[in-house]
């Protein structure tokens, strides 16, 4: 996904006008394609912060004025990096996201919604450099145009017509990106016949795709020969979530739909990636456990420590459990026949 994101953003970097910095952290791991294309279309030079490394993470941790989860600390590191290179900083208040059903709330976590206030206070950023529209991605297109225009006009002075055209292109690129991920997932699952277990990794995009945050989990699973796929590559549109009618968080709904798909598919096994101090997941984890019933799953709770041994011990232990459960399941029809 990281490669796809930079592939889509890279050709649009034009060396004219002002540079606008977008931190490759928090919601931009999911929505970066929309915003990179949007600003490039308006004629700005889009500058993405680099992938997280220990140095960026440390800069973030050292600049914190309050204790938060690790992804928010890392976000601070990215913004501090960008503040040295980009003329403007794009730090929107992203309130909600599109949902599968209209009645779903689709909210981002409060720390994501308010991240610009946290980082502005911590880094003492100049207000005139910050582009910070308040955006409800779940709203209809005309409302979205109004929100973005009203939010960026005071700083960038871009006319509404231009915002509308650029937003249309940005949203189309975002949709194209999402479809590409689903197509890859569909192709992968179609090539499987159910004989091998498949690990379905749920979590928030910054945990799933930022390799400093997930300690390169994907690469480690691959080395162990474990087949795994993150939730964004799955089509969850057919998964009923009516037993969680008040699910407040957009990503929470995605995680629980994934859990339900795992529970309903015998060769799928769930791994949920989360962070210490994650308020939203302190609820979601219980719901995830409830959905799983007795089916084994792995919960990986990570923080700023970069040692991988602890995680791998759990991964290897879970792999043994998965192999046992899956073998028993494969043998069941045979036993019945005997």
Residue 111 to residue 179: CA distance in whole angstroms: 28
Say how many C-beta atoms besides its own lie within 10 A of residue 7's C-beta.
12
Please, what is the minimum distance in Å from the beta carbon of residue 132 to ligand SF4? 17
Token look-up 């220990």 returns: 54
Minimum gap (Å) between residue 101 Cβ and ligand SF4 = 21
Q: Which residue from 36, 112, 145, 256 is in contact with ligand SF4, where contact means CB under 6 A? A: 112
* Cβ 204 to ligand SF4 shortest distance, Å: 5
Q: Which neighbouring-strand residues pair with 284?
A: none
Q: Is 109 in the site for ligand SF4 (CB under 6 A)?
A: yes
- Residue 204 as a binder of ligand SF4 (CB under 6 A): the answer is yes
Binding part of the chain for ligand SF4, among 41-49, 108-116, 255-263, 286-294 by CB under 6 A, reads: 108-116
Cα dist from 242 to 103, 123, 138, 284, 292, whole Å: 11, 43, 19, 16, 16
- Nearer to ligand SF4 by Cβ, of 164 and 304: the residue is 304
Nearer to ligand SF4, 40 or 201 (CB): 201
Check residue 71 for interaction with ligand SF4 (CB under 6 A). Answer: yes
Closer residue to ligand SF4 in complex, CB, 173/204: 204
Q: Which is nearer to ligand SF4, 69 or 198 (CB)?
A: 69
- Cβ distance to ligand SF4 smaller for residue 154 or 279: 279
What gap in Å lies between CA 184 and CA 200, rounded to an integer? Answer: 14
Output Rg (C-alpha) for the chain, integer angstroms.
21
Alpha carbon distances (Å) from 235 to 15, 70, 99, 138, 291: 38, 29, 13, 19, 18
Question: For residues 50 and 279, which CB has a smaller minimum distance to ligand SF4 in the complex?
Answer: 279
Q: Rounded to whole angstroms, how far apart are CA atoms 112 and 95? A: 8
45 binds ligand SF4 (CB under 6 A): no
| Interaction pattern, residues 255-284, with ligand SF4; x per rule: CB under 6 A | --------------------x--xxxx---
The residue range among 66-74, 118-126, 191-199, 296-304 that interacts with ligand SF4, by the rule CB under 6 A, is 66-74
Query: What minimum distance in Å lies between the beta carbon of 107 and ligand SF4?
Result: 10
Q: Which two tokens stand for residue 66?
A: 């309050």
Is residue 111 involved in binding ligand SF4 (CB under 6 A)?
A: yes
- Give the SS3 label for residue 280: helix
Buried b (16+ CB within 10 A) or exposed e, 64-85: eeeebbbbbbbbbbbbbbbbee
* Residue 307 burial (C-beta neighbours within 10 Å; 0-12, 13-18, 19+): exposed
Binding interface with ligand SF4 (CB under 6 A): 69, 71-72, 109, 111-112, 204, 275, 278-281
């Amino acid at each position: 996904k990281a490669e796809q994101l930079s592939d889509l953003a890279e050709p649009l970097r034009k060396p004219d006008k002002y540079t606008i910095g977008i931190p490759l952290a928090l919601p931009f791991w999911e929505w970066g394609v929309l915003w990179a294309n949007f600003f490039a279309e308006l004629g700005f030079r889009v500058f993405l912060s680099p992938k997280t490394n220990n140095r960026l993470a440390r800069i973030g941790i050292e600049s914190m004025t309050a204790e938060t989860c690790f992804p928010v600390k890392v976000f601070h590191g990215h913004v501090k990096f960008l503040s040295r290179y980009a003329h403007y900083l794009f730090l929107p208040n992203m309130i909600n996201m599109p949902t599968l059903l209209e009645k779903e709330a689709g909210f981002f976590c409060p720390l994501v919604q308010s991240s610009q206030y946290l980082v502005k206070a911590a880094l003492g950023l100049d207000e005139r450099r910050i582009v910070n529209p308040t955006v409800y991605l779940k709203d209809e297109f005309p409302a979205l145009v109004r929100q973005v225009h009203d939010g960026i006009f005071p700083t960038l002075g871009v006319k509404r017509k231009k915002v509308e055209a650029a937003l249309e292109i940005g949203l189309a690129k975002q949709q194209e990106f999402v479809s590409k991920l689903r197509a890859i997932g569909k192709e992968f699952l179609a090539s499987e016949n159910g004989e091998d277990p498949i690990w379905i990794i749920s979590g928030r995009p910054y945990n799933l795709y930022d390799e400093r945050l997930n300690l390169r989990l994907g690469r480690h699973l691959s080395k162990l020969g474990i087949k795994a796929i993150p939730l964004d590559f799955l089509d969850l549109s057919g998964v009923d979530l009516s037993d969680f009618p008040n699910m407040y968080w957009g990503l929470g709904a995605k995680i629980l739909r994934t859990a339900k798909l795992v529970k309903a598919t015998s060769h799928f096994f769930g791994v949920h990636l989360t962070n210490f101090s994650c308020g939203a997941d302190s609820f979601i984890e219980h719901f995830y456990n409830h959905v799983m019933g007795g089916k084994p799953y792995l919960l990986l709770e990570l923080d700023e420590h970069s040692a991988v041994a602890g995680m791998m011990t759990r991964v290897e232990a879970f792999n043994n459990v998965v192999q046992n459960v899956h073998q028993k399941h494969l043998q069941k029809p045979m036993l019945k026949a005997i």
